[in-house]
Structure 1
Amino acid sequence: MVSEMLKRDFGTQATRNERDSTDKAQEKRTSKSVKPPANKAQQTSNVSSNIPNFRSPYENSPSGLDESFSDIDTNIDFDDLLPEIGEFGCFQKILFSLMIPFCYISAYVYLSQIFMTLPAEHYYCFVHELKLIKSEEERKQLSIPKLKDGSYSRCEMYDTNYTAVYHATNRSQYINSSLPRIPCRDGYVFSQNEQFFTANIEFGWVCKNDFYATYAQMIFFLGSVVGCLGYGHFADHCGRLAALVSSSSLAFFGSLFTGMTKSFWSFAFTRLVVGASFDTCFTMIYILMLEYVGPKYRTFVANMSLAMFYSPFTMVIPWIAIYLHSWRSLALYGSIPLAFGLFSYCCLPESARWLVSRGKIDDAINILKKVAARNKRVVSKNYWKRFRESCELFYKEEFEGRNFTVCSIFKRRRLARYMVFMCLIWMIMSLLYDGHVRAASVLDKENVAVVFTIACATELPGDLLVIVTLDRFGRRWCAFTFTMLSGLFSLLGANLTNATSTLVAALAGRFFANVCYNIGLQWAAEVLPTVVRAQGISLIHTLGFAAMLLSPPVIYLSNLSLALMLNTLGALGILGGFICLFLPETLNEDLPQTLSDGNNFGKNQRMWHQPCCGQGKKRIVHVKHTWHEGSSLRTQSRGEFRSKKLHRLALVKPQKSNANAFIQTSRVPSVISQNTEVLERVQNLRPEDSVSKPK
């Protein structure tokens, strides 16, 4: 069709008039055939009327496409609106401060279950017949064998007649190290000097039963996997605020009932419930904060919220546990601040982007108007009207658009390879991070609280290091360097003989594990294309929790050898560092929007590509995207290039002498390939019309 038009004689007025009359007739037929959509939602009943005619501005304007482009550019998304209502004003600062209680909730949920099942260090077999002997040392000499290092065994006792030993006049004659040994049969005697009375002590999860504590930790992360999957669906359908409140409720009531449990199975069930709330109870407030903050403040806010709020709470939790002295008190009293999450509806706004994605555009605009009022910004009614039209258009397109699932990623070879590598990297980083967090409880069992506090203190400089280096050296080389350093320091600590040197090396490994963990998820979000980003991140995050199921068994290796545990963590760090080199760099790159973009992303980068030292790219010519998709309004992103209006084209003025050059320079393949009104308008362009870029 286009080629036939170009072969015509554009110089004759008769032909021009004939084409105009044909266009007008076609336009009348089209207007009769278009019907308004069915009653899908009240908010979208007038969407069709808000979509402007792309051809009429061109036909009625002497300046060609200038007015049509101006009409296209009147569409506003959230990134356009935020500078008008305030990017980091009073409203955002209040919202930022409201992250404090949720940072406590996240720190408490994550670390309390570690302290509740801390392994006891000083204990020995209880012998019922000798309980009336006042001297503890005498009881040990009569019943407990000694090890090679001179200490008493914790899990064995002598097999002898203890009734006769108790009633003997001279008990010292029964002290005999050659007696046969048996496992403890009457329970255990724990030291009164234990800093914290754990569930292991109360339920006797030591010696042959010490695996119960490991199982309880694994069940917690099993709940995290279930919660991550369930809340992802729940948040999309019921809202971010509903997910935040319900997850905080699970954490609150689950912790309360944990303090009332009487057996392993009841304890495990309550930890499963609390684990289901983990991550969601902080992720939702984290998302809300980033959605209402301007783009240039997001990196700062994302990392400073962790550095200023989360890190200090992780340092405080060990001392709260020691102050309360009992795991039941920690579960009951430590969970009281979690009740704040139940009242979130009173002080937190719903996600305006989510409201738009559900068609509740009036509610979203009311919230945004309150944001503008709080920030003392004035926005014109015309600006709100144009924003409403953009939201209505996007809602209609997302409602009627094609569906994409995470399975769509694996239909393209390169993108599927990226996804596999990202899953592996995130699983390794998650296991490495959680393993180092738990390792603090076994590195120095005599000073657990002190070591744990120092280890948690590494979170703060780690968050700051991410802010300084990530946008300077790029994601790939930062992830490679810090993950490798974490592995190398872990291997170094495993092969040192001095206990203090081993502790310092392990803490250095923890520090770099913090950094690479912060990089991992942001990197994955940038590599995945927009249309499957949310679902892809959900899958990667879920696999990360699944990997954390293995961290308690890794820490359990410390019962065999501390070096074995650190060597395992070191090997994971080395492996994860090498895999990082197979993912593309995203710094200073246009992030992929479609599956095709994702499949081609990074194709032009060499292995040594380094953003801060040079481009490191192959010398190939890229087709530059000349449109803006308005991705900040696409909260669910279930279509690929469905928008007919928010593709902001920048057509190049054609040369009148070459008709083919006009088509080659003016068409945008990704848009023209769709059967849209933009295609129809471009096909009807005349070479003599003036075409200019939008202002």
Structure 2
Amino acid sequence: MLEVDKILEKCGDFSRLQMIMLLLFCVINVLSALHYYSQTIISFVPKYWCADGLPASIESPVDSSCLPLNRNISTPNTCYSYNYELYMGYQSFPSEMDWVCADAWKLTLGQSMFFVGSVVGSMVLGYLADVVGRLPILIVANLIAMTGNLLTIWSTNVTLFCMFRMISGIATDSNFVMMYILVMEYMRPSVRTLGLSICIGFFYCLGSMAAPWIAVLMRSWRGFLLTTSLPLLVVPFFYLIVPESIQWLISKQKYDSAVVCLKRVAKINGRHVEESAYAEFIEECKCSQQNQKASPHLLDLFQTPRLRRHTLILFFKSMVITLCYDAVSRNVQGLGISPFVMFSLSATAILPACLLIIALQDRIGRKAMASASLLLSGIFISVTGGIIFAASASDKTTTLLVSLSVVGRFGVTVAYNSGAQYATELIPTCVRGQGVAAVHVAGYAFTFFSAYILFTRSVFSPLPEIILGVLSLLGACLCLLLPETLHRTLPTSLEDGENFGKNDRWYTFSFLEGRTQSAATLDTQNAKMYSQSTESAVYF
């Protein structure tokens, strides 16, 4: 809303309140990273072997084994108890519950239910955010995350584990996105990308890198969940500082509440704003809302051919990116290195990925960024799978695998973070809120399969990398069919969306477009000069 940007400029759009909100957003980044990756941390499977008939002091085998070690013809193939070689003394959920071998499906099912909760939570909490406001849902989502994690501590069977992980998953996305929206709306447009990306890059990276070492310090999955869940109690206190979304209040015609929030912003920022300015703001909002027509529905995106194609590609791209991002983030075992060390090394890709987006996205364009990042991650993930299959376990091979895995994570992170902005710009304004939410939910729905893709390692060791690599390469190819949005007037209506980028080809990129236009301009100037000189020669 232009009216909101104008009044915020008077109340302060990059001052003391915005600095406080950015600081609180940093806290949310750390807490949401710990919550999201709790699913991975509690599910680490250490090396295991059958303990039936073996003395406790026996030396562990080289690889994990589901069958009795001292087998003979009379020995049954079924194992009833297991020994574990715990990573740094950390007791994970599967090692405590013996959810390995024949019972490994229980852990995979529980992990999948976490993402079922994510889909349900994104839709329900997203709808409620439009009904009761962004700030209450931010608080509720984080309290749900805390409740789900604390209940998981009391899981004693697969039913309770699935139920409590689903509750925990309900908070995923809303516990972060609501604060992202609030900070974005209260900041000056020219500093939004820089401020938000730096907060995400540094502090989400910090939370991700710290997660496994908190688990090591606590020495058990219960201690980890307790330690990472209790800090979520600080989020309700955000209500005392963070104002509600002005745009949401205006959309609900809660003008008095909007003015109260604006006065609070002005007070914290030390600005004095005349009452007449608030009255003028409210009148402009009322006039703008009177001229608005009924908003189109989400399904209208599928009514026309080009808009339908772009929407379906955005859906598929979101599915691929979200699936690869989650699977690559959690794929820290089977690479010949401690999963705790691998997890932290992999998380280091988050910060440079955000910095790269800041540096390049507004230079080379959204299309080039999305395609190149997916292509890069697909190549390196696939090569990692090939090396796992072909190479022997040596120090050099391990170093190479770790390096390729980190580069793959880097590419997926770039694609994931830049993809959200691409979808937001490409979907017409009239259905942007519904469309972006639907794209996001589709991504989380597809993440349901990430645990099963990682489970295929038990069938064929490089299979997870092969599947993720192929999906990334397919996503990179489909991104080439989308139009560029950089430096263009974004679509407002459905008709604009249908005609947007109509002359673009798969090889049309923003950075090449600029060179082409410059060359065309030079050719035109030369042609004019030649024409003028010719006319002068004829005249004389």
**TM-score, scaled relative to structure 1:** 0.70
Deviation readout 1:125-149 (Å, 9 max, x if unpaired): 333xx6xx56435xx8xxxxxxxxx
* Counterpart residue number, 2:221: 327
1:337-348 matches, within 5 Å, as 337-348=231-242
SS in 1 for 2:435: helix
Change (3 A) 1:152 1:465: closer
Q: Tell me how far 1:613 sits from its aligned partner.
A: 3.2
User: Which of 170, 188, 196 in structure 2 is aligned with 1:294?
Assistant: 188
CA deviations over 1:8-43 (Å, ceiling 9, x no partner): xxxxxxxxxxxxxxxxxxxxxxxxxxxxxxxxxxxx
Q: Determine the C-alpha separation between the residues in 2 that align with 1:363 and 1:543.
A: 34
Identity over aligned residues, as a percent?
A: 32
Specify the code of the residue in structure 1 equivalent to 2:317. Answer: I
The alignment status of 1:116 with 2:34, answered yes or no, reads: no
- Mark the structure with the bigger radius of gyration: 1
Show the counterpart of 1:126.
Answer: 52
Measure the CA separation in 2 of the matches of 1:279 and 1:152: 37
Contact 2:378 2:472 in 1 (8 A): yes
Deviation, 1:383, is 2.6
Report the alpha carbon displacement of residue 242 of structure 1 after superposing the two structures with TM: 1.1
Q: Which aligned pairs between 1:553-592 and structure 2 lie closer than 5 A?
A: 553-592=452-491
Distance in 2, matches of 1:90 and 1:194, equals: 44
Q: Report the 3-state secondary structure (helix = DSSP H, G, I; strand = E; otherwise coil) of the residue aligned with 1:83.
A: helix
Q: Secondary structure of 2:50's match? A: strand
Aligned 1:136-215 pairs, distance under 5 A: 136-137=58-59, 151=62, 154-157=65-68, 178-191=72-85, 195-215=89-109
- Contact kept? 1:126, 1:184, Cα under 8 Å: no
Amino acid at match of 2:367: R
CA distance in 2, matches of 1:95, 1:193: 38
Deviation track 1:81-133 (CA, whole Å, cap 9, x = no partner) reads 23222221111001110113211221121111111111121332333xx6xx5
Matched residues, number: 511
Residue in structure 2 matched with residue 643 of structure 1 by the alignment: none
Task: Name the SS for the 2:486 alignment partner.
Answer: coil
Partner of 2:346: helix, strand, or coil?
A: helix
AA in 2 matched with 1:414: R
Query: CA contact under 8 A between 1:558 and 1:564: conserved in structure 2?
Result: yes
Conserved 8 A contact 1:300-1:467: yes
TM-superposition CA deviations, 1:42-76 (whole Å, max 9, x none): xxxxxxxxxxxxxxxxxxxxxxxxxxxxxxxxx96
Alignment map for 1:523-538 (pairs within 5 Å): 523-538=422-437
Q: Does 1:610 align with 2:509?
A: yes
CA contact (8 A) 2:481 2:505 kept: no
Q: CA deviation at 1:403?
A: 3.8
Among candidates 98, 123, 145, match of residue 229 of structure 1 = 123
Q: 2-side partners of 1:491 and 1:346: how far apart?
A: 49
Mapped to 1, the partners of 2:8 and 2:356 lie a distance apart of: 28
- Counterpart position of 1:440: 332
Is 1:356–2:244 an aligned residue pair? Answer: no
1:492 alignment partner in structure 2: 383
One-letter identity of the residue aligned with 2:509: Q
Q: Contact 1:120–1:201 at 8 Å: present in 2 too?
A: yes
Q: Is the 8 A contact 2:429 2:493 kept in 1?
A: yes
Amino acid at match of 1:205: W
Distance 2:285 2:57 in 1: 79
Partner of 1:238: 132
- 1:477 matched to 2:368: yes
In the alignment, the residues of structure 2 paired with residue 335 and residue 466 of structure 1 have an alpha-carbon distance, to the nearest angstrom, of: 31
- Measured at CA, do residues 566 and 192 of structure 1 come closer, stay the same or move farther in structure 2, by a change above 3 Å? closer
Q: CA deviation at 1:181?
A: 4.4
Residues 1:417 and 2:306 aligned together = no
Q: Which residue of 1 aligns with 2:534?
A: none
Deviation of residue 178 (structure 1)?
4.3
Aligned counterparts of 2:385 and 2:187: Cα–Cα separation in 1: 44
Three-state SS of the structure 1 residue aligned to 2:462 is helix
Between the aligned partners of 1:239 and 1:397, the Cα distance in structure 2 is 24
Q: Tell me the TM-score normalized by structure 2.
A: 0.90
- Higher helix residue share: 2
Q: Work out the CA distance in 2 between the residues paired with 1:134 and 1:486.
A: 44
Could you list the runs of 5+ residues in structure 1 that have no partner in the other structure? Answer: 1-74, 141-149, 159-174, 618-695
Aligned partner (choices 593, 599, 602) of residue 498 of structure 2:
599
Q: Please, what is the CA RMSD of the aligned residues? A: 2.3
- Residue identity in the other structure for 2:120: V
Give the Å deviation of 1:79: 2.2
Unaligned stretches of 5+ residues in structure 2:
392-396, 518-540
Say which SS state the counterpart of residue 440 (structure 1) adopts.
coil
- Seen in structure 2, the aligned counterparts of structure 1 residues 76 and 152 have a Cα distance that, compared at 3 Å, is closer
Displacement of 1:367: 1.1
Counterpart amino acid of residue 597 in structure 1: D
* Distance in 1 between residues matched to 2:469 and 2:56, nearest whole Å: 48
| CA deviation vs aligned residue, 1:453-472 (integer Å, no higher than 9, x gap) | 01001100000000001000
SS state of the match for residue 332, structure 2? helix
